Structure 1
Amino acid sequence: MSELPEELSTGERVRVLRERRGMTRPVLAGLVGRSTDWLKKIESGERPLSSHTMLVKLALVLHVTDLSVLTGPAEAAQPVTTNRLFHPASGAVWAALLERGTRRATALPPGTTAAGYPAEVDAAWKVWHASANNRTDVGRLVPDLIRHGEVLAAASADGERRTVLVALASAYRLAQQVIAYIGPAEAVWMLGDRAVAAAAEADDPAAMGAAAWNLANTLRAVGEYEGAIQLVTTAAEHLRPHLASGPEHWRGLYGALHLHASITEAKDGRDGSAWHHWDTADQVAKSLPAGYAELSTVFGRANVDLHAVTIATELRSSRKALTLADEIDPDAIPSMERRTRLWVDAARAHLDRGDRTAALHVMGIAVRTSPETVRFTPPARAVAAELWRKAPRAMRQETLELAETVGILTGG
């Protein structure tokens, strides 16, 4: 786009860019909610285009990432954010999803078997929690885990098929974690639906509970709190009769479902319900061995304590949140991602109390712990943006560096 002649007006630039995309005037006008006559006057220069909002709408539709392409080189570069964060893992996962039913049977690598596939998925979950850049590291793994699991599920006999389906549901859930907030919404929902379907076909209560936990994350992210709570509490009730006879990790998933409900209730401002679910999870954690952590949700003692900080933060009980955070040993949290979220919650609580210096300090620790967790999760990005917007003069350079690291100045 940078090769547009400098002398072109904004309207002429809109016309050139529209024509390059093979788009008619009525189509472009309709996509930005205006009439064809309005766009004709803009392109001819008969009407000025001074609305920043409309410039951004046109830029998004014309796939322009810098408003100066529309306004001309006399203006400073003005990045256009699409509200979708970019990470290469997103495209790779999306491609793997779209291949099902449209590709020839994938040739499995030597050694990839139905019996060994669950261990491969479990190993990828361990990378997710151990890596400081988990989207990058696990993003390289999950596309093939999806492809291989789908091939194995189609080719396996009944007994092995059930085992593969449980692991495939787990792979879908892991992929959903990888592209959360960065992938097409359609891909996130598709992964959630496939995880639920695979778990249901396997008829495995724990797999169904875990799939519900993941899908409820997606519901909560779009503000569907009631739906998320209903999903996890129903899943917990279905899992509860099996706890006495089931393996240990089933109790872990049951506790994780209640922790999920506790955070969702807190986000919706329901203090009593939030702490009620946390109390249930706390009792489950006490019944499990010291140091226990469920593989995918890392449910255990440290994670329950971390959720107490998050609940207090969501309920704007900042003093309580910071007191609780002070009592947690970050090294006891068996996940770099969750450890980072502890620091982010502490930063949120400090901001709520007006202490920007402390918030900036702990955000620095969060970035050093897991750069990708900070860069690709909305609460962390919101803290960085708030610090950048309202930084005292003495902190401007540090907050600018944080904003650039997180990518909030470029939409990246």
Structure 2
Amino acid sequence: MATEHLTPGQRIARARHRKGWDQATLAEKIGRSVSWLSKVENGRMPLDRMSVVGHIAEVLGVEISELTGQPYRHETEELDSGHSAIPGLRLALQQATMPGGAALLGGRQPRSLDDLEANVRLAEQLRQDAKFTALGDVLPSIITDLTVITADQEADRDRAEALMLRACHMARVSSNLLGHHDLGWTAVQRELVAAQRVGAPGLVAAASWDLCGVWLHEAQLDPAKSAALSALDQIEPYVGADDMVKAMWGALHLRAAVAYSRLWNQTEAESHLAEAKHVAEALPRDGNVFQTQFNRVNTTIHAVEVSMELGRPRDVITRAEHVAIAEIASSERQAHYWTCTAAGYHMNRKENEAVDALLRADRIAPQHVRNRPLVRNIVRDLRGSGPLLRQRELLNLAKVMRLP
């Protein structure tokens, strides 16, 4: 069977066989029953939490993508959900991160910093809307122009590096959400260099926030947690005097909350979540410092996610009901909320409500939704759960996702 057609359960079984383990051995190591593992491998139990997938990957000693099957590619550009942007983005990031990369760009005449800043703002809206194909049309040239400018001794390099950090953040997010995690790491490396060169606490915090994001996507939970805690310590002296740094302080607490929830540490997860909520109350309702969307609504979205990762389905639904989702100006965040809510409904055996939530998410940000392992696992399970009110729409979603 071609590997792209393997289910997550079949991928787990393949990795288990490669280790020479039977089901009883793996079940014991992950703290689950043989019956549970058998159902997962046979496709009768969904993997609806990244905390569970990450734990299994860690025990098996494989990368998370080996179990999720990312990136998910399709035969036509119409269905390919943004992957056509990756080759150009990869080349731009390679040139931006290699020593002397600007010299390889010949006599390229970059746009002015004013023009580039305007283009970065437009690209950031595409990123918030999870329009990866459109973002891929503009982002590589922005990064390439900034590669030339940051190597120019006479340029305003601090301003250029700050723009490079914002551009590479967009590259990091889109790469991770599309499942190209190695490219996400390349992008965040350039962010860390930019932050180090400028030295501003806000930039340092933003790069650290993205570093946590890379490790969360790779299910490297202890490094993600440690990076968040280290950054919080580093910027704490600057929090009181600068709202931008205060917002990053809150955003890093949200990163820590997610990391601890995936480590199944409810006490620490809820503690960091509470601190983030406290900070958000003192900041603008539409806050979006460094594309973090750190504001009151996003802290409530994170609360839903934390409950989902902790495996507390009733809390997922209770918290979801208190999210003013229409108030956040980010299609990606809205879709993320609806997918987490769908997972909660699915855990609660409310299958029709789960389907409604998934279809709503797909209408809002299809390129984001169709590349999420969580969504694909839930859709696969719902597809075989029996008659549903919106069965035809669900089957169509499974078809365009090309689910095995």
With the length of structure 1 as denominator, give the TM-score of the two structures.
0.74
For structure 2, the 5+ residue unaligned runs are 2-17, 19-67, 74-82
Judge conservation of contact 1:90–1:182 (CA < 8 Å) in 2: no
Counterparts in 2 of 1:10-159, with a 5 A limit? Answer: 83-86=70-73, 87-100=83-96, 101=101, 103-105=104-106, 107-108=108-109, 112-129=111-128, 131=129, 133-157=130-154
User: What SS does the corresponding residue of 2:241 show, helix, strand or coil?
Assistant: coil
Alignment identity in percent?
Answer: 24
| Whole-angstrom CA distance in 1 between matches of 2:307 and 2:210 | 23
Letter in 1 for 2:376: R
Question: Is 2:294 the counterpart of 1:332?
Answer: no
User: What SS does the corresponding residue of 2:356 show, helix, strand or coil?
Assistant: helix
Q: CA deviation at 1:294?
A: 2.5
Judge conservation of contact 1:384–1:406 (CA < 8 Å) in 2: no
Q: CA deviation at 1:321?
A: 1.4
Counterparts in 2 of 1:188-337, with a 5 A limit? Answer: 188-246=184-242, 248-337=243-332
Change (3 A) 1:232 1:106: farther
Report 1 or 2 for greater relative contact order, CA contacts < 8 Å, sequence distance ≥ 6.
2
Judge conservation of contact 1:114–1:156 (CA < 8 Å) in 2: no
Q: How many residues align?
A: 325
| Whole-angstrom CA distance in 2 between matches of 1:267 and 1:296 | 23
Q: CA deviation at 1:97?
A: 2.2
Q: Highest Rg: 1 or 2?
A: 1
Letter in 1 for 2:147: E
Deviations 1:243-275 (A, max 9, x none): 2233x2221111111001101111111101001
Q: CA deviation at 1:332?
A: 0.7
Letter in 1 for 2:105: R
Q: CA deviation at 1:402?
A: 1.9
Residue of structure 1 equivalent to 2:379: 384
User: What SS does the corresponding residue of 2:291 show, helix, strand or coil?
Assistant: coil
User: What SS does the corresponding residue of 1:103 show, helix, strand or coil?
Assistant: helix
Residue of structure 1 equivalent to 2:51: none
Deviations 1:104-153 (A, max 9, x none): 335235xx223553343233212321x3x521121212101110111111
Judge conservation of contact 1:192–1:211 (CA < 8 Å) in 2: yes
Q: CA deviation at 1:212?
A: 1.3
Judge conservation of contact 2:239–2:246 (CA < 8 Å) in 1: yes
Q: CA deviation at 1:348?
A: 0.2
| Whole-angstrom CA distance in 2 between matches of 1:164 and 1:240 | 26
Q: After the TM superposition, which of the residue ranges 214-223 and 255-264 deviates more from structure 2?
A: 214-223
Residue of structure 1 equivalent to 2:364: 369
| Whole-angstrom CA distance in 1 between matches of 2:389 and 2:282 | 49
Change (3 A) 1:286 1:184: closer
Letter in 2 for 1:208: V
Judge conservation of contact 2:166–2:290 (CA < 8 Å) in 1: no
Q: After the TM superposition, which of the residue ranges 91-100 and 134-143 deviates more from structure 2?
A: 91-100
With the length of structure 2 as denominator, give the TM-score of the two structures.
0.75
Q: CA deviation at 1:295?
A: 4.3
| Whole-angstrom CA distance in 1 between matches of 2:367 and 2:171 | 15
Letter in 2 for 1:286: E
Q: CA deviation at 1:388?
A: 2.1
Q: CA deviation at 1:328?
A: 1.8
Judge conservation of contact 2:70–2:180 (CA < 8 Å) in 1: no
| Whole-angstrom CA distance in 2 between matches of 1:230 and 1:106 | 42
Judge conservation of contact 2:181–2:218 (CA < 8 Å) in 1: no
Q: CA deviation at 1:184?
A: 4.1
| Whole-angstrom CA distance in 2 between matches of 1:119 and 1:284 | 30
Residue of structure 1 equivalent to 2:15: none
Judge conservation of contact 1:165–1:202 (CA < 8 Å) in 2: yes
Q: CA deviation at 1:99?
A: 3.5
| Whole-angstrom CA distance in 2 between matches of 1:183 and 1:90 | 11
Deviations 1:181-229 (A, max 9, x none): 4364432211111111111111122112111111211211222111001
> Which one of the candidate residues 149, 164, 169 is aligned to 1:173?
169
Judge conservation of contact 2:181–2:214 (CA < 8 Å) in 1: no
